[in-house]
Structure 1
Amino acid sequence: VPGSEKPGYSSAYRSSHLPVGQPLVDKVAPGFDTVLSVMEHAFAHYPDRPCLGTRLLKKDGSDYEDHFTYATYREVQEKRNRIGSGIRTLVGRDEKFVVGLYSSNRPEWVVTMLATQAYDLIYTALYDTLGPTTSAYILNFTETPLLVVSKEKLRSIFQLKKNNGLPHLKFVVVMEPLDLEKDFGLVQVAESRGVRILDFNQLENIGRLNPLPVIKARPESTFGISFTSGTTGNPKGVEITQSMTAAFVAFSISSVYVTVKPEDQIRVFGFLPLAHIYEVCNLSMQLTTGCSIAFPPDPSPLKLVENLAIVKPHIVCLVPRVYTKMEASLKEAMSSSFVGRQLLKGIESKIEQSTDDGLPHSILLDSLALKGVRKKLGVSETSILISGSAPIGSETVDFLRSSLGTGFSQGYGLTESTSGISVSSPFDKEVTCGGIAITTEFRLRALPQMNYHTHDEKGVELDEPQGELLLRGPQIFPRYFKNPEATKDTFDEDGWFKTGDVARRDSRGRITIIDRVKNFFKLAQGEYITPERVENAYLAVTPFLTQIYVHGDSMKTFLVAIVGVEPEAFKTHLSRHRKTHHLARLPIEQVLEKVNNSPEIKKFILHKLDDNVKHEGLQGFEKLHNVKFMIEPLKISDDTITPTLKIKRNIAAKFFKDSFEQLYKEGSLLKNNKL
């Protein structure tokens, strides 16, 4: 943006798709300034298309059917109106209140959320990893009078009510039908807690008998509160407005391209939890464009491939840890046979020959050999894979893109920005978060104390500036719920949202997240370390790593870390090297014991890790000098990470205190005088 430069900051940047002087885009088209108006358009234009689906139980109850059963867009709209009318009739027709949701992904969850959009209500979501204390805090803080839950969550809700009072909670709606004989005990427990319990069908019948017109909310009206899990204190509630989500739809439609046959309806599989903004926003885009959306009856990752094979989705949205496991499983299977090893060589050749314009095509490799791999994984008709929520390694992207013959994009966003505000091109060789959305502008704030600069010594703006990423535009949230102080601290005087993420803008305008602002410490020699930069560097290029927690002591001169590994991928890595191949035949527990107790073996693996990151721009003092290998060392149950997988560094430092002391006692494995 011409003339937007100011001291300590880069210029403001907008999408190159916006003509100079044109304002940021805030809607798909005139008249679509609320998410409700967008949904109404979808219902009117795709009434008979399959909309929300799941696999039903077989009549004998032995297993789920081998196909998905869908409600049409018209049926979903009608159910939405009845559920919205039922909620309004039960709780209140005039006031605005919060409706809670607590279940895994299923059509009833979506219908309830759509009802809050259509009847000017507010939804908020609970999920298991929040824990009882935070869940009770959210329900009390939002004064939620009505909660819609799956049956399996009932006892935990009743326990919450008993232990925490929850004086505002008056109604609990169960998504599954209640049986008056079998479930009479649950009804009694509910009554003893001062709660009326009814099922989804009964709520729908109340709405059928008391139909109410849809309430056309204002664009600035809040329809969701999404609680972000902070690393300290209670979570903050991000208010999601009608207009924010309408703007996200405009961004996603303009940025994500799905290739399908003209006669096909786009199919998607809703695997990621709807309790988080990433999947809710995916859902909004999918409904807007008339997709069929399938939800798993069992949310277990072990059933993912089975469900994908049934749905055959055209677009797949997952998170890095799922993609890395997919990569590890494919590599392990291929490396176990001669034919598979030849496939791996062919994939490596495709990676080398690929360009930003696409992948090379081989009839023998793609049409014959790899066709079976795609079919087995359920992605035979998938045109694009999308990753979000955390950085993903370039090796994982290259391998899956080439082996599955699909585009692969990475996006960036936060709850406060209504999920994504950038996404990379599907075949970009370099893995970035892509260019900024047409709905958003950004600038970078220099952080000289962390060695991130926007200008050179002469005051000329750098071609590739680095600094804290600041965002502004219609996708950015207006406030934290009942928290004006946190809201004030999050925005600067010019209305820019301070993300806390450190980004680099490259010469092509693409954004890459490289660090966090708040997390840095000093080593004994005076060098500043930003641990997330180091962690992301190792995770990005080492597929067998699943977690890493970097630690430094101001009295020491080197870094140590707790490292989580994916068992099979780690063993596969060890099997490829003469020094460690004998370990690959052992159970993973024995492997970790032998590796952690052998400085010589650890040193060998550490050198391999450092070889991997040599092109990631780390300085010598940023390299890891000793580590402890574990399986999932960072757990929500231990309070070392948040439900959104952010490391609680102060708590984690205490939790791993003995391990860090032992690693420092062993000394640096990279310095010659230590071994």
Structure 2
Amino acid sequence: MKITKDFKFGFPDPNAPEIPGETKPYRHFTLKPGEPLQDNTVIPTVYENFMHGYNETEGKGNYLGFRRIVDNVAGAYEWITYEECLERVKNFGSAILSEKIGLKPNEPLGIYSINRPEWVISDYAAMFNSIITVPLYDTLGLQALQFIINQVEMKVCCAANDKAKKLLENASSYPTLKKLIVFDEIDDELKKVSEEASIEIYYFGDLEKEGKENRKDFILPKNETVGCICYTSGTTGNPKGAILTNDNLISFCRSIRNLRDNNLFRYITHEDSYLSYLPLAHVFERVVQNTVTYFGGKIGFYQGDTSKLLDDVGVLKPTLFASVPRLLNRIYDAVWDNINKTGGLTAWLFNFAYNSKKRGLKRGRNTHWLWDRFVFNNVRNKLGGNVKAIYSGSAPLSADVTDFLNICFSCDVQEGYGQTETVACLSLTDKWDMESGHVGGPMSPVEVKLRDIEDMGYLTTDKPYPRGEICVRGHSVFKGYYKNPELTKEVLDEDGWFRTGDIGIWDEHNRIAIIDRVKNIFKLAQGEYVAPEKIEEVYLKYPIVNQIFVHGESLESQLVGIVVPKKKEFIDYAIANGVDASLPFEEMCKDKSIIKKLVSDMNVHARSHNLKGFEVIKNIYLEPHEFTEAENLLSPILKVKRGQALQKYRSIIKGLYDELKRK
């Protein structure tokens, strides 16, 4: 398909009424005017979705892959077929319905583990019996765990053994939790801790055997049966439990099916393989896996250690790769750092080929018979060499990185936009559209509109393009927050429109471009609104910045930041600017002269990327240690938790402002 100058990826519903302060709802261009949103009669539930993939391979195709670790060395991938998976789901499902475990439809089953086959089997066993799964994030803090378990009144939880131990050590904090099902064999220590906590503990494998001997029929869900309560990690306060039905969970896959039928999405088959490492407790990973499953593809799980991810990639050699901008940005930085350090003819040739292919992107082409083979092949091999499609979600991907992926990997690069509350299904870029800087048109199960945010100056009457808060309605939109009607009412109106909190525009092709955020903004003392995430994205492109947290106060006129520098790059930079080379890294980070120099250089970079004067950082603290999930400073999708970061660095931020006042 050729993207012409006048092509539109969405169209305003001509039958919708004109409402002041809003655009008309926009729909996917494959829908006809007046036609309802893509319905849910095909693949109505997660069960039908799995069975479609099962039938694609007649049950014989490899499905779930894992690497057995012996003496700290991971072996080759071992596979469970679709047929074997279904048998294990029947067995385990029968066990959790038995009197011993005692779960009933519409009751919650917790899952607390890294991604692995047992996670998927537990999830299916619950949902195929109309039991609600409640995933617990692998690195949730104790307070959040307590809140979730107590809010849903969880009685039974499946867990990896290390997570089971963590739950048992704090068992008094959640009195409803009475039974744990652990994925690996139970050792004496775990048995002892469970006895002390007065919690029954069962081995997953034993329950599978018992379920096989006492098989029960599935209690299959319907379209509107709740399948999952997915808690958002949040950046402040307690997590929120989004109530997701089977209809919600399968909407993304139905949309992909529609795109594929119209040659707008890569043809996926049972021969395709996908590396699973993003947390399954997050909707982005879940909908990607649902889609791979629908087409009968293979899902290989990582070892559980992201530092060994490239080893897993090298062994699996996936054809499909889904990621988040943070990791893709690291690949981008690593390649360019290497090219710049190498210099000479190699760097000249890389840049020449890069710019040549970048011009090709404007013509809708990301392949080149010569450059792909001789210049970009080494970059392509970083993801195993077989990748045919890269999907990005959870946060905006910068235009530079989108272009980089298209140029270096010569594959389909598609960016999705959505939230937990829309089960990652709101908009998606088209495989034929290689223009960066947007997140595509509306997906077929939903309709999307913008509404005025007057106090920020974003109006749907703005020229040349309408601007406003992105709102969505349709099959993917959640049913509300669990036991929180007040918060539900704030974001979900009586007509079913969910207010995303993101500011967007409709561009010339009726695609959505995200330009700001309603919630994560500061109003500085001079009255200017500041969106820190947008500013952080710019500073993260500076070669010395590894992580950054930007903050502003309503009584202050300037911004400050906490910066985690890249260790090697910062040491080289500091020495080149007169810092004693014998000093430890931590001491270099305290050097006021180098901090002043770095702020100046960072702001030259910031202004070159069109940040306004009030958007640049005036003072920074150099943090020598990375923000981590274990410290509760990063969400599972690696976004900075603003509330927690502010709490940790509040005194330092005060000191940064005090320094500015003394200048």
In structure 2, the residue corresponding to 1:55 is in which secondary structure?
strand
> Which residue number corresponds to residue 610 of structure 1?
607
- Aligned-pair distance for 1:300? 1.6
Question: Is contact 1:176–1:200 with CA below 8 Å preserved after alignment?
Answer: yes
Residue 88 of structure 1 aligns with which residue?
97
Q: In the aligned structure 1, how far is the partner of 2:474 from the partner of 2:598? A: 51
Structure 1 match to 2:551:
551
- Change over 3 Å in CA distance of 1:644–1:82 after alignment to 2: same
1:411 aligns with 2:419: no
CA shift, 1:292, in A, is: 0.5
Once the two structures are overlaid, the 10-residue window that deviates more, 44-53 or 591-600, is 591-600
1:57 alignment partner in structure 2 = 69
**Equivalent position amino acid for 1:306 in 2:** D
For the residues of structure 1 that align with 2:506 and 2:132, how far apart are their CA atoms?
A: 36
Shift of 1:384: 1.6
Partner of 2:223: 219
What do residues 479-499 of structure 1 show as CA deviations (whole Å, max 9, x unaligned)? 222222222222124321111
Deviation of 1:630 (Å): 3.4
Q: CA 1:177/1:664 → structure 2, altered by over 3 Å: closer, same or farther?
A: closer
Q: CA deviation at 1:16?
A: 1.5
Deviation digits for residues 424-472 of structure 1 (CA, Å, limit 9, x no counterpart): 234522221111100111111211211111114xxxxx55211111110
Amino acid at match of 2:271: Q
Partner residue of 1:519? 520
Q: Is the 8 A contact 1:571 1:583 kept in 2?
A: no
Work out whether 1:344 is the aligned partner of 2:315.
Answer: no
What letter corresponds to residue 471 of structure 2 in structure 1? L
Question: Residues 359-417 of structure 1: CA distance to partner in whole angstroms, max 9, x if unpaired?
Answer: 45444432133223322x13411112111111222222222321222232221111110
Q: Assess, with a 3 A threshold, how the Cα gap between structure 1 residues 91 and 367 changes in structure 2: closer, same or farther.
A: same
- Matching of residue 663 in structure 1 with residue 652 in structure 2: no
Matched, 1:201 2:205: yes
SS in 2 for 1:508: coil
1:77 aligns with 2:86: yes
Match of 2:385 in 1: 380
Q: Are residue 169 (structure 1) and residue 165 (structure 2) matched? A: no
Q: Normalised by the size of structure 2, how large is the TM-score? A: 0.89
Per the alignment, residue 111 of structure 1 pairs with 121
Rounded Cα–Cα distance in structure 2 between residues aligned with 1:521 and 1:7: 27
Aligned positions of 1:442-591 closer than 5 A: 442-456=448-462, 462-539=463-540, 541-542=541-542, 545-568=545-568, 574=573, 589=586
Q: Tell me if structure 1 keeps the 8 A contact 2:467–2:504.
A: yes
Amino acid at match of 2:562: I
Question: Residue 101 and residue 222 in structure 1: after superposition, are their counterparts in 2 closer, same or farther (change >3 A)?
Answer: same
Q: CA deviation at 1:600?
A: 3.7
2:52–2:296 CA contact under 8 A, matched in 1: no
Which residue type is aligned with residue 453 of structure 2? L
Report the Cα distance in structure 1 between the residues aligned to 2:72 and 2:602, rounded to whole angstroms.
47
| Contact kept? 2:472, 2:497, Cα under 8 Å | yes
Residue 94 of structure 2 aligns with an amino acid whose one-letter code is: S
User: How far apart, in 2, do the equivalents of 1:31 and 1:252 lie?
Assistant: 13
Give 1:424's aligned residue. Answer: 429
Worse overlay, 516-525 or 224-233? 516-525
- 8 Å contact 2:538–2:606 — kept in the other structure? no
Whole-angstrom CA distance in 2 between matches of 1:545 and 1:444: 34
| One-letter amino acid of the structure 2 residue matched with residue 168 of structure 1 | T
Percent identity over paired residues? 30
From the superposition, tell whether residues 216 and 640 of structure 1 become closer, same or farther in structure 2 (CA, over 3 Å).
closer
Q: Give aligned pairs, total.
A: 643
Residues 385 and 648 of structure 1: CA distance in aligned 2, closer, same or farther (over 3 Å): closer
Structure 2 residue identity aligned to 1:550? V
Q: State the 1:23 CA deviation.
A: 0.7
Q: Is the 8 A contact 1:347 1:403 kept in 2?
A: no
Of residues 518-527 and 35-44 in structure 1, the stretch that sits farther from structure 2 once superposed is 518-527
CA separation of 1:363 and 1:470: change in aligned 2, threshold 3 A: closer
CA deviation map 1:531-579 (0-9, x unaligned): 334334544x54654433333344443322223344456678x59xx97
Question: Could you report, residue by residue, the CA deviation over 1:230-257 in whole angstroms, capped at 9, with x for unpaired residues?
Answer: 3443211111111112222112333476
Alpha-carbon spacing, 1:581–1:110, altered in 2? closer, same or farther (3 Å): farther
> Which letter does structure 2 place at the counterpart of 1:132?
L
Give the 3 Å change call, closer, same or farther, for CA 642–54 of structure 1 in structure 2. Answer: closer
Compute the TM-score of the two structures, normalised by the length of structure 1. Answer: 0.87
Structure 1 unpaired stretches of 5+: 457-461
- How far, CA to CA, are the matches of 1:585 and 1:359 in structure 2? 50
Whether the 8 Å contact between 1:26 and 1:243 is mirrored in structure 2 is no
Question: Given the superposition, is the C-alpha separation of residues 525 and 120 from structure 1 closer, same or farther in structure 2, using an over 3 Å criterion?
Answer: closer
* Distance of 1:115 and 1:184 partners within structure 2: 28
Say if 1:555 and 1:124 are closer, same or farther in 2 by CA, change over 3 A: closer
- 1:192 aligned partner: 196
Match of 1:36 among 40, 47, 56: 47
The Cα of 1:287 is off from its aligned counterpart by: 0.6
SS of structure 2 residue aligned to 1:627: strand
Q: Distance in 2 between matches of 1:294 and 1:283?
A: 10
Gaps of at least 5 residues in structure 2 are: 1-12
1:637, CA displacement in angstroms? Answer: 5.1
Query: Take 1:549 and 1:249, find their aligned partners in 2: how far apart are those partners?
Result: 35
CA separation in 2, counterparts of 1:599 and 1:93?
A: 61
252, 267, 270: which is aligned to 2:273?
Answer: 267
Alpha carbons of 1:276 and 1:586: their partners in 2 closer, same or farther (altered >3 Å)?
A: farther
How far 1:503 sits from its partner (Å)?
1.7
Root-mean-square deviation (Å): 3.0
Which of 612, 617, 623 lines up with 1:619 in the alignment? 612
- State the Cα distance separating 1:311 from its structure 2 match: 1.2
In the superposition, relative to structure 1, how do residues 564 and 424 fare at CA in structure 2: closer, same or farther (>3 Å)?
farther
Structure 2 contact 165–193 (Cα < 8 Å) conserved: no
The answer to whether the 8 Å contact 1:173/1:200 transfers is yes
Partner residue, 1:459: none
Matched AA of 2:472: L
Distance in 1, matches of 2:426 and 2:582, equals 45
Contact 2:115 2:276 in 1 (8 A): yes
CA distance in 1, matches of 2:536, 2:378: 35
Offset at residue 512 of structure 1 (A): 2.1
Distance (Å, rounded) in 1 between the aligned partners of 2:394 and 2:512 = 15
Residues 1:121 and 2:131 are matched in the alignment: yes
- In structure 2, C-alpha distance between the alignment counterparts of 1:583 and 1:497, rounded to whole Å: 55
Q: Secondary structure at the match of 1:238?
A: strand
Give how far 1:62 is off: 5.3
Contact residue 504 and residue 512 of structure 1 kept, 8 A: yes
Give the whole-Å Cα distance in 2 for the aligned partners of 1:642 and 1:193. Answer: 29
| In structure 2, distance between residues paired with 1:209 and 1:402 | 55
Give CA deviations for 1:72-111 in whole Å, capped at 9, x if unaligned: 1111111111111111113336553111111111001001
Query: In 2, are the aligned partners of 1:146 and 1:173 still within 8 Å (CA)?
Result: yes
Please name the residue that 1:19 is paired with: 32
Is 1:157 matched up with 2:170? no
1:355 to 347, 354, 361: 361
Q: SS where residue 44 of structure 2 aligns?
A: coil
> Match for 1:442: what amino acid?
V
